[in-house]
Structure 1
């Protein structure tokens, strides 16, 4: 069924967006409209099924959801082809599966941890069929106990995970998906105590992770898939202190992460895969630690959030101590920054300051180019945007504007093009109060939402190009003459003013200014060539030829 996007007259204008060609420099303007569809009401009535862990495997999307089987409500495994009739429970000839979790794709199969009535939680795999959904190893043979496998990671044609066989504790396991090919890789913390391996990250032909051997605390480990090649990389935390390894991110051929030691506190570290090459990048906040988080590669640098004093700051690094610098010198004290996401040539994030609360911000890497996208909820508490996801050229997220709780928002990167969207049947309060688990499948965006009276169920959103007539009706700006020698006239039609930026084909910013509704851009001093004009208020990007 098809729904209107918004009950506003300028809908199509607000959803103009840019599509980038392979050159990364030439753009066209495209307008889109949207179809919402409830995929299936798994629990008829207002009972929530809360779909999550959507995982695409071939022509199916698997997910887990709460389902009332007539006797009790449990978490079950489901699959969908995107239609109501094609959304069905995944069952097994072996036994009933419940509490599935840790879903991943590996070699064309779904791997997950699941429980049955006899063996407890063990590793399973499925191709979606009745006969092809099976447990592949009973790691802990004790009746009802289960090995509770977790952190499944696909790497170098094998599955790595943590599991407890009831003898050596929660340790590192490896599997090729068969019973005989599933084995304990290494008992890192010998005896019945657990090393609890976690935070797996593939890098440079090896798998890095965090584990506790009982002597060094939780530190950075590495494995090549053999027991002898599974080693402690470095005792960063000094002795039995935990190194607190997290936010592992590859950048420029090295692995960066946040880690703690006694001398510097928690700071930014880097490794080339050797003990000697595992080093502190910079002590940003001496002794107290800056607690780097949300490491994100953008525009040739690694950006991250750091705490200095009582405020959060946006930093960037080229990997050197001298090249690790403050990226945004905010005019107000920033209480928090989170959820960094690269979209359409800018870095987006949720930021909280002392006056506005959490709102969406974006940056081009400079202080002057760091601006609030939109004040969605005016006041001190803010809209608290989160769960950013880029789909089909637009940025999606959830936010609360104060009218109906947490809802779905979409943006083309401009204030005017940042709008709330919902189907016409949306009657529920705070329809996206939980993590929507955004997942793309067969050209649509799937997510969990409680738009109507059916509770939180599986929905999908499909974008379509507007017709030629619709596109012509959308009022765009006029730019002339083009080609141009001296002054370029930019007519914004009914828009009062806009920020405009001019880039060369290497992406260098040549002009950045605000113009009134009909302004001029002086191009007389620029060399001949092709330039890209970005008009923020309308979301347009145009190719300009300078003679």
Structure 2
């Protein structure tokens, strides 16, 4: 006797364009194709998204309100230059312009834009000015720490004379007159308080009215410093490595519960990098755990800080947790090394808290790099959430982003190691509520430059109102990715069933291909509104099948699946 299970999908709003991304603008195929580059970083300003776009960091600034008419370029510089770390400050968007030219008078600048047009752009220290910013875009563009706002001022490292003061801590109110040296930390002429040989140590983070940063005063080596923005209030936090001239080289700043968590090396012993926490005072700076480094991802859940790190003694990576005390700091689970996972800079795991669970990208030999989930305990409740393509090919989930009650992320669709497309996925935390939002037309192999899939996976998902904005290629060998949006109001999927749902169908609505996911599929039929079969096909006991629905007219249809046990599963979908 056959058992029938009907699954009803209830959408939050009308189903007309649900779950399918829409192109906002193809700036590469516009009168000025230089603006057609992938998003790197962005800020929301006056209900618009202002982004730095381009390879590595960005060499153009683009603004969008989510419409074609409201999307255009506002800043364009030389292809070799880098624009990064946009910060909303005093009614404008400020960013660092790293120039890569030997032309006299050109130097890294503090620039700004009104996010509207070219006339609203400018530089605090234009060409020919004595002030030049310290910048290392490749090393620091993604961490957002090179330009930091605190107490109504921007903080960065700069110099007005390399031979006298070198690069030191500066502050600015956004004007040249209001841009001043905070303190000459390294008084030795020509010596820098930051920079070589530790270009990566230019990070800064503000906790309230205290700025944490790394500097070398010429005596203690690179150590943690704090500042309240004044000369007198800028001082060495504590000398964690007391060896003369040797610093602890603090890195990986994380603000947690009004304190700063970071990595530092307290001795010169090999593999002695530890996890520290500080409240901004020497006595309040304590070691949380020894032998941890490469702290990369972090998420706060239930007032606990979870982070990804590597044990220097075992060389094993894992997820750790801390409550801000040594006793409350420990490993949750050790994970396998990424293996052949594509290392899309900057994060290897994208640890994200959603619905009281942790989601992240991790590797296993059997499944490849896929989406995992954890309840944050050591009780073995860390497991694979979903193998997105059902094979051992790496889908490598990246850019995990929570928006409007769902978790969104990017994942690669690969065939024999080649990337077929980069798709947007979302989940409500259940397998049946995990769906793929296929970019229309993205069904050809990306056989252009080898960096195409990396460009897309490294480009973020950014929420603008009720839309998710992102860059994505959609045709073979396309060199400039269009800007897309996903309407978040049409993706709230709820399941109503008296039994456990084991059938997933996506995208829904659909216009081209529909993917069916259910255990042991043997037969698939599609019925129209009057019950007539418009598609009928037998499969070979698979868990994933695709239905070409391009020829169907727009309307409501039922997909009927018969599995290997003779059980029928029926689900409704909309053909656009």
Q: With structure 1 as the length reference, what TM-score do the two structures score?
A: 0.71
- In the TM superposition, residue 439 of structure 1 has moved relative to its aligned partner by 1.5
Paired residue secondary structure (1:464): helix
- Superposed CA deviations along residues 194-223 of structure 1, whole A, max 9, x for unmatched, are 223622111142111122333323221111
Tell me, in whole angstroms, the C-alpha distance in 1 between the residues paired with 2:306 and 2:220.
Answer: 29
- CA deviation after TM superposition for structure 1 residue 428, in Å: 4.7
Query: Aligned match of 2:423 in 397, 401, 407?
Result: 407
Aligned to 1:211: 215
Inter-CA distance 322–449: structure 2 relative to 1 (3 Å threshold): same
Map of 1:230-269 to 2, 5 A cutoff?
230-239=234-243, 240-262=245-267, 265-269=272-276
Change (3 A) 1:55 1:382: same
> What are the within-5 Å matches in structure 2 for residues 106-505 of structure 1?
106-114=89-97, 119-127=106-114, 128-138=116-126, 141=129, 146-148=132-134, 151-167=146-162, 168-190=165-187, 191-196=189-194, 198-239=202-243, 240-262=245-267, 265-283=272-290, 285=291, 289=292, 291-308=294-311, 309-328=314-333, 334-336=336-338, 338-366=349-377, 367-377=379-389, 382-403=394-415, 404-430=420-446, 433-434=454-455, 435-452=458-475, 454=478, 455-465=480-490, 476-478=496-498, 491-492=499-500
Quote the Cα distance in structure 2 between the aligned partners of 1:230 and 1:140: 30
Whether the aligned pair in 2 keeps the contact of 1:169 and 1:192 (CA below 8 Å) is: yes
CA distance change for structure 1 residues 216 and 32 in 2, over 3 Å: closer, same or farther? Answer: farther
Deviation at 1:294, TM superposition (A): 2.5
- Verify the 8 A CA contact 1:408 1:421 in the aligned structure 2: yes
Q: CA RMSD in A?
A: 3.7
**What secondary structure sits across from 1:34 in the alignment?**
coil
| Among 88, 98, 103, the residue aligned to 2:86 | 103
Deviations 1:43-75 (A, max 9, x none): 2189852333222211332223459xxxxxx93
In 1, Cα distance between the equivalents of 2:17 and 2:73?
A: 34
- CA shift in 2, pair 1:57/1:399, >3 Å: same
Q: Distance in 1 between matches of 2:459 and 2:396?
A: 15
Distance 1:182 1:66, change over 3 A: same
8 Å CA contact retained: 2:38, 2:459: no
Residue pair 2:7, 2:495 contacting (<8 A) in 1 also: no
Counterpart for residue 26 of structure 2: 41
CA contact (8 A) 1:270 1:278 kept: yes
Partner of 2:61: 77
| Cα distance in structure 2, aligned partners of 1:50 and 1:279 | 41
TM-score by length of 2: 0.67
**1:198 partner SS:** coil
Q: Kindly indicate which of the two structures has a greater share of residues assigned to strand.
A: 1
Question: How many residues in Structure 1 have an aligned counterpart in Structure 2?
Answer: 440
SS at match of 1:402: strand
- The 3-state SS of whatever aligns with 1:407 is strand
